[in-house]
Amino acid sequence: MRRVSSWGRLSAFPHEVIELGDRSKVAAELARGQPGIAYGLGRSYGDACLNPDGVLWRMAGLDRFIRFDEASGQLVCEAGVVLRDIQRLAIPRGWGLPVLPGTQFVTVGGAIANDVHGKNHHETGTFGDHVKSLRLLRTDGQEIVCGPAERPDWFAATVGGLGLTGLIVEAELQLRRVPGPWLDAETIAYAGLEEFFHLSEESHPAWEHAVSWIDCTSGNAVRGLFMRAKPAAGEHGTWRERRLAMPLVPPISLVNRLTLKPLNQLYWAMNKRYLGRRIAHYEPFLFPLDGIRDWNRLYGPAGFYQYQCVVPREVGSDPIREMLGAIARSGDGSVLAVLKTFGDRWPFGLLSFARPGVTLALDFQNRAGVETLFERLDAIVAAAGGRLYPAKDARMPRSMFEAGYPRLGEFLGYRDPGMSSAMSRRLMGS
């Protein structure tokens, strides 16, 4: 048994970790009869990838490429391949992943199971939109190859299916042409939500990536930085990977009620120097936190929650304003609050998170009383007809999940009874 945490570091329960390293032996491992869940790089924040006292199938060793067709951009690989490795392989050959989440330390299997999105959702949709097919192994020995054109019902259940329809062993992805690793980026300061929405609208379709940082301590006087970027052709020098790391877990959270305001001010001050246009390498632009290894340790031994919701655009900016108000009043909040709009595409997956609307994501230190704030936020999200992101979640009530994901009933029919996680037991009862 080994203690395993997810990215939020809220728990470290023992798990029976089974290392998968050879794709020809996966079926035999799954057939051993104990329910479990696949574990990639443990970047989901809550309990989607955990199964206390039970089995975890660790995918890190299943990280081989199988085929890459440079003419068509089709890549076949094992599910444990890390998105960073795909990028580093493909970009020099003029290809890239169409969807990249906020960290590139995510496996292909995890990206499919959580149907992740990126800062370019309005252009390219979610990760699942670019999966041509995948191979799923069920714990009863059945093998299912599915995709949007082949057994689409299984595909819809597996994309965003939180690993509960079986183990994703390999996938075929459609990459797209990119001119290189450089982005033409622009940072714009904004004040007020209306300005944010105006910038979001104005940025489509000319700017592929759009995201904003928002100072969640500013209350009603909303201020933030709007960051947008589009691919830039040509050579723009070299970029060197930074290797900073958070070397230890501090005894208390370094992000707390006392430091929250100064940290937000510091972030504001540091990023203001980027105001205006510049050429940026895609890694620091798309994955700013990947430059600090183990940054999640900042929140100390008790760990932290991430709260990410999406609310439909039709309801206007009121829910976002209400949430920001509730957060400012509570005295909690995060340094990296992210606000962005999603495009009009509905995702393929039955349980996929991203939908047309506005998404707000924040980190909260785990301390007594933070649940009261979450309940207040839940009420605002639910009233607006929105939903929470399971990949980030460690605490939403079952009712909130059921209300946010109306196709849950359909999904349950595709579950593999041998797949179970702390999250599936919490939100689906088994």
Partner 1 sequence: MRIVVIGATSAIAEHCCRLWVAREACDLVLVARDAAKAGRVAEDLRVRSPASTVTVVEADFLDTSAIGRLAAETAARPVDIVLIAHGMLPEQSLCENDLVLCRDTLEVNAVSPALFAEAFAGHFAKAGRGTLAIIGSVAGDRGRKANYTYGACKGLVARYAEGLEHRFAGTGVSVVLIKPGPTDTPMAASHRASGRRLASVEEVARAMVRSIDAKRPVVYAPAQWALIMFVVRHLPRFVFNRLNL
> Rounded to a whole number, what is the largest CA-CA distance in the chain?
58
Q: CB under 8 Å to 238, separation ≥6 — which residues?
A: none
Shortest Å, Cβ 398 to partner 1: 30
If the CB atoms of residues 4 and 381 are measured against partner 1, the closer one turns out to be 4
Nearest distance in Å: CB 34, partner 1: 16
Complex with partner 1: residue 155 or 299, whichever CB lies closer? 299
Smallest distance from partner 1 to CB 66, Å:
6
Our CB check for partner 1 shows the closer of 170 and 378 to be 170
Contact footprint for partner 1 (CB under 8 A): 1-5, 12, 17-19, 21-24, 58, 60-61, 64-68, 70, 88-89
Q: Which is nearer to partner 1, 105 or 207 (CB)?
A: 105
Minimal distance, residue 68 CB to partner 1, in Å: 5
Comparing CB distances to partner 1, the nearer of 28 and 66 is: 66
Least distance in angstroms from the C-beta of 268 to partner 1: 33
86 or 193, CB closer to partner 1? Answer: 86
CB of 144 to partner 1, least distance (A): 21
- Asked whether 304 and 366 are in contact (CB, 8 A), the reply is yes
